Structure 1
Amino acid sequence: MRTIDKRIAPPAKLAASLVARAPTLTLAYDERCKSRLAATLDTGEAVALVMPRGTVLADADILVADDGALVRVVAAAETVVVVRARDTLALTRAAYHLGNRHTPVEIGADYLKLAADAVLEAMLSRLGVDVERATLPFHPEAGAYGGGHRHGHDATFAEDYALAQQVFAQRHGDEKEPAGNGGADHVHSHDHDHDHGHGEEDSCAHNHRHSHGH
Structure 2
Amino acid sequence: MRATAVRPQGDWQPADTITLDYHHRHRRRIRLRTDGGADLLLDLAETTHLRDGDGLDCGDDGIVRVIAATEPLAEITGDPDLLVRLAWHLGNRHLDVAFRGTALLIRSDHVIEAMVTGLGGTITHSEAAFDPESGAYAHDHG
The 5-angstrom pairing of residues 71-150 of structure 1 reads 71-85=64-78, 87-147=79-139
**Alignment partner of 1:6 is 2:31:** no
Confirm or deny that 1:69 pairs with 2:68: no
Q: Distance in 1 between matches of 2:107 and 2:128?
A: 10
How big is the shift at 1:122?
0.5
Shift of 1:54: 2.2
CA distance in 1, matches of 2:18, 2:121: 35
Q: Detail structure 1 runs of 4+ shifted over 3 Å in the superposition.
A: none
Equivalent residues of 2:18, 2:35 under 8 A apart: yes
- Give the aligned residue type for 1:126: G
1:36 aligned to 2:19?
Answer: no
Tell me what 1:172 maps to.
none
CA apart distance, 1:66: 2.8
Structure 1 contact 54–147 (Cα < 8 Å) conserved: no
- Name the TM-score, length of structure 2 as normaliser: 0.88
Identity %: 34
Match of residue 51 from structure 1: 44
Contact 1:59 1:75 (8 Å CA) reproduced: yes
Q: What SS does structure 2 have at the residue aligned with 1:94?
A: helix
Larger proportion of strand: 2
Contact 1:39/1:49, CA 8 A, preserved across alignment: yes
Which protein, 1 or 2, shows the higher relative CO under an 8 Å CA cutoff with sep ≥ 6?
2
Shift of 1:9: 4.6
Contact kept in structure 1, 2:15 and 2:61, CA below 8 Å: no
Taking structure 1 as the reference length, what is the TM-score of the superposition?
A: 0.60
Name the count of aligned residue pairs: 140
For 1:4, the aligned partner's letter is A
Post-superposition shift, 1:134?
2.1
Shift of 1:147: 4.5
2: CA distance between counterparts of 1:68 and 1:45? 11
Root mean square deviation of aligned Cα = 1.9
Deviations 1:120-170 (A, max 9, x none): 10010012111122221111111201259xxxxxxxxxxxxxxxxxxxxxx
Amino acid at match of 2:17: T
Bigger radius of gyration? 1
Aligned mates of 1:75, 1:97 — CA distance in 2: 27
Q: Which runs of 5+ in 1 are unaligned?
A: 149-214
Give 1:98 shift.
0.5
Q: What residue in structure 2 maps to residue 187 of structure 1? A: none
